C-alpha cells in the first residue's frame, strides 16, 4: 500500500529504529511498511496516525478509492 511513512519519518528526524520504538514494533516492520512490502494492520495504521498527528487517509493511499 502506497504511503507517506518514509517522508513523515524523515521530517520528524527519526531513524527507522526510533519510529519502531514509538510504535512498539521492530525496525524491520517499519522498513517493510516503508518499502510497501507489507500493509499495516488497522491497529498499527491508527498508531501511526497518532504518532504523526495526521489522519490515516493522509498517510496511506486508499487503493479502493473511486475514480482512480
Q: What is the pLDDT of residues 7-53, one digit of tens each?
A: 999 999 999 999 999 999 999 999 999 999 999 999 999 999 999 99
- pLDDT surpassing 90 at residue 65: no
- pLDDT surpassing 80 at residue 68: no
Q: Confirm if 32 and 5 have CB atoms less than 8 A apart.
A: no
Count of residues in the chain: 68
* Residue 66 CA neighbour count, 13 Å, CB half: 0
State if pTM tops 0.85. Answer: yes
- C-alpha 37/C-alpha 29 separation (Å) is 10
Q: Confirm if 41 and 56 have CB atoms less than 8 A apart.
A: no
- Looking at beta carbons, which pairs linking 62-65 to residues 24 or more positions away fall under 8 Å? 63/1, 63/2
The pLDDT score that the predictor gives to residue 3 is 97
Amino acid at each position: 500500500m502506497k504511503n507517506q511513512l518514509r517522508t513523515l519519518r524523515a521530517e520528524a528526524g527519526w531513524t527507522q529504529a526510533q519510529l519502531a520504538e514509538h510504535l512498539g514494533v521492530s525496525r524491520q516492520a517499519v522498513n517493510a511498511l516503508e518499502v510497501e512490502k507489507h500493509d499495516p494492520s488497522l491497529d498499527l495504521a491508527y498508531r501511526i496516525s497518532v504518532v504523526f498527528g495526521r489522519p490515516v487517509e493522509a498517510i496511506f493511499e486508499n487503493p479502493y478509492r473511486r475514480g482512480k
